[in-house]
C-alpha cells in the first residue's frame, strides 16, 4: 500500500513530468514526439526501412566507421589526461601510460582503432562503389566521403607523430619533405621562383607549405605541439562538420540502403 | 510614388502614409534598386571580412622565428683534416661531414637526397650508404667527386654547405647556404676550400 502511494507520487510528480514530457510511447504520435523532442534522438530518422537493417546490403561498414570514430574520440580524450605534447615528456608519458596507469591498454586501443578505422572506411568506400550508391542523385555525397577519407588519413598522419619515437619522427620528416616539393607553394618544388614581390621571394624554406606544416625549419617541439592541436581539435572538428553533411544527405535521400 | 493631392481621393494605404508623414513617423522606404544594392554591398563587406579573417589566421600559423639551432659552426683548423678522409665529428651535432679529398676541403650535408634519412659512411668501400632505401654516394676517391650519387634511389648528389676560412685560420661552416651539384654550383669557390 505504501509503495503504491510512493510510486504514484513519483510518477505523477512535476519533476518526472518536466524530464519525461511525453510519457509512455504507446501511440504512434507519442513515438514520433519522443524522437522529435530529444536532442540525441532527433538526429535519427523517425522510421527506418527494413532494407536498411539487411546486413548483406551495407555490411554496416559506414556505421562501424562512425563507431570507431567515437571509440577514438573517447579513448583519445582519456589519453589526453596523461600525455604532455612536449619533447621532454611525450615519449616517457606514453610509456608510463601503458605501464603505470590502470587499463593503460587504452593507448593500444586508440592505436588499433585508428588502424581499424582506416581499413573500415576503405571497406565502406568499396561497398558504396559495389552497390552503386554513388550514382545520381548521390554523386556529391561520394565527394563528401572522399573528403572524409582524406581527413581520416590526416588524423592518422598527425597522430603518428605524437609518441615522438623513431618511427614517428622519420615518418613525419619524410612526409613533410614531400610538402617541400609542392608546385609553387613548396620551396623545393617547381614554380616557387615565380611567386615573388619585386625581387623578394615569397616562397622560401622559412615560408612555404612545409614551413606551415612543421611550424619551423626542422622538426621539433613546435611541430609536436602543432600536430597535437591539429590531431585533437582542428581536424576532428572539420571531420564532424563533414560527417554531419554526409549523414544528412543519406537521410534526405530516403535513409540508408533505400532503393535507387 | 506619386500621391494624389486631394487626401479624400487616395486609397487607404496612401492615406495612412500621408497621415504618418504629417506626424513625422514615416521613414522614407527604400526602393527595390536601393535594397538590392545595399544588400549586395553588405554581403560583399561580409565576404571581404571573412576573407581577411582567413588571411589573418593563415599568417598567424607562420611564425617569423626560426626555432632551430645556430646555422654556423667552427670546424677547427685546416690541418686537422687528412687528405682523402671523411670526418664524422659533426655528423650528429651539426648534420655535416667534413670531407677532404686530394685537392680541396668541403662540408657535405648528411641529409640523404632521396627522402631525408641520415646515411652512414663505409670506410671499406669508401662510400656513403643510406640505411633507409640503399642510396649510395661516393666517398673521397680519386676520379670521382665525393658526395655524388651512384646507386640506389637518390636522384641527385648530397648537398654542400658554404665553407670559408676565418682570420685565425678556422674553418667556418655556414649551413644556411647550400650548393647543389646538379645545378652546377659545386664550381662556386664558396662551396670548398682549396688546399
Tell me the chain A residues in contact with residue B61 when contact means C-beta distances shorter than 8 Å: 212, 215
The confidence score (pLDDT) of residue A223 equals: 94
Four-point Cα dihedral A174, A178, A180, A185, nearest 10: -150
Question: Residues near A62 by Cβ (< 8 Å), separated by ≥ 6?
Answer: A124, A127, A128, A256
Residue in B58, B68, B117 closest to A216 by CB = B68
CB atoms within 10 A of CB B132: 16
Question: Can you give the pLDDT of all 260 residues of chain A as single tens digits?
Answer: 788 888 888 888 898 889 888 888 899 999 889 888 889 888 887 777 888 888 888 899 999 999 999 999 999 999 999 999 999 999 999 999 999 999 999 999 999 999 999 999 999 999 999 999 999 889 999 999 999 999 999 999 999 999 999 999 989 988 998 888 889 888 888 888 888 887 788 888 888 889 989 988 888 899 999 999 999 999 999 999 999 999 999 988 888 877 76
**SS3 at position B178:** strand
Tell me the chain B residues in contact with residue A173 when contact means C-beta distances shorter than 8 Å: 116
The reply to whether A212 touches chain B by the CB within 8 Å rule is yes
Residue in B58, B67, B117 closest to A216 by CB = B67
Higher-confidence position of B115 and B130: B130
Res. B2 pLDDT band, cuts 50 70 90: low
Residue in B67, B115, B116 closest to A222 by CB = B67
The reply to whether A211 touches chain B by the CB within 8 Å rule is yes
| Beta strand extents in A78-134 (DSSP E only) | none
The confidence score (pLDDT) of residue A181 equals: 87
CB atoms within 10 A of CB A20: 12
Task: Tally C-beta pairs within 8 A across A and B.
Answer: 30
**Minimum mean pLDDT range among A101-115, B1-15, B56-70:** B1-15
Could you give the ipTM of this predicted complex? Answer: 0.72
Domains of chain B: 7-60 (no CATH), 72-194 (2.102.10.10)
Q: How far is B66 from chain A (nearest CA, A)?
A: 6
Domains of chain A: 60-252 (1.20.810.10)
Amino acid at each position: 500500500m505504501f509503495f503504491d502511494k510512493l510510486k504514484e507520487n513519483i510518477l505523477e510528480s512535476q519533476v518526472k513530468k518536466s524530464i519525461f514530457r511525453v510519457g509512455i510511447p504507446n501511440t504512434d504520435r507519442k513515438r514520433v514526439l519522443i524522437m522529435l523532442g530529444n536532442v540525441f534522438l532527433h538526429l535519427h530518422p523517425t522510421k527506418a526501412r527494413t532494407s536498411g537493417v539487411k546486413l548483406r546490403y551495407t555490411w554496416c561498414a559506414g556505421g562501424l566507421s562512425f563507431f570507431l570514430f567515437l571509440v577514438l574520440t573517447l579513448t583519445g580524450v582519456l589519453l589526453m589526461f596523461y600525455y604532455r605534447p612536449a619533447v621532454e615528456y611525450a615519449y616517457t608519458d606514453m610509456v608510463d601510460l601503458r605501464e603505470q596507469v590502470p587499463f593503460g591498454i587504452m593507448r593500444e586501443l586508440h592505436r588499433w582503432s585508428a588502424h581499424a578505422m582506416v581499413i573500415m572506411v576503405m571497406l565502406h568506400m568499396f561497398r558504396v562503389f559495389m552497390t552503386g550508391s554513388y550514382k545520381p542523385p548521390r554523386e556529391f555525397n561520394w565527394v563528401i566521403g572522399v573528403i572524409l577519407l582524406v581527413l581520416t588519413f590526416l588524423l592518422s598522419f598527425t597522430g603518428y607523430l605524437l609518441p615522438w619515437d623513431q618511427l614517428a619522427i622519420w615518418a613525419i620528416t619524410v612526409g613533410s619533405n614531400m610538402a617541400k616539393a609542392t608546385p609553387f607553394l613548396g620551396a623545393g618544388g617547381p614554380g616557387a621562383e615565380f611567386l615573388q614581390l619585386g625581387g623578394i621571394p615569397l616562397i622560401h624554406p622559412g615560408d612555404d607549405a612545409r614551413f606551415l606544416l612543421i611550424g619551423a625549419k626542422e622538426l621539433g617541439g613546435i611541430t609536436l605541439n602543432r600536430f597535437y592541436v591539429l590531431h585533437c581539435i582542428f581536424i576532428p572538428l572539420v571531420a564532424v562538420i563533414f560527417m554531419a553533411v554526409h549523414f544528412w544527405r543519406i537521410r534526405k535521400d530516403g535513409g540508408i540502403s533505400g532503393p535507387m | 510614388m506619386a500621391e494624389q493631392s486631394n487626401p479624400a481621393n487616395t486609397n487607404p494605404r496612401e492615406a495612412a502614409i500621408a497621415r504618418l508623414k504629417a506626424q513625422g513617423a514615416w521613414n522614407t522606404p527604400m526602393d527595390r534598386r536601393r535594397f538590392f544594392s545595399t544588400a549586395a554591398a553588405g554581403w560583399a563587406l561580409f565576404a571581404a571580412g571573412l576573407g581577411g579573417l582567413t588571411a589573418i589566421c593563415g599568417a598567424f600559423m607562420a611564425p617569423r622565428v626560426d626555432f632551430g639551432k645556430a646555422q654556423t659552426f667552427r670546424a677547427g683548423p685546416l690541418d686537422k683534416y687528412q687528405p682523402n678522409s671523411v670526418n664524422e665529428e659533426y655528423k650528429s651535432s651539426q648534420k655535416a661531414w667534413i670531407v677532404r679529398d686530394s685537392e680541396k676541403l668541403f662540408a657535405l650535408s648528411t641529409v640523404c637526397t632521396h627522402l631525408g634519412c641520415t646515411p652512414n659512411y663505409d670506410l671499406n668501400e669508401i662510400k656513403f650508404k643510406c640505411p633507409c632505401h640503399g642510396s649510395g654516394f661516393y666517398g673521397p676517391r680519386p676520379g670521382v667527386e665525393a658526395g655524388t650519387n651512384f646507386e640506389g634511389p637518390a636522384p641527385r648528389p648530397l648537398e654542400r654547405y658554404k665553407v670559408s676560412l676565418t682570420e685565425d685560420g678556422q674553418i667556418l661552416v655556414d649551413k644556411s647556404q647550400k650548393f647543389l651539384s646538379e645545378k652546377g654550383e659545386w664550381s662556386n669557390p664558396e662551396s670548398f676550400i682549396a688546399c
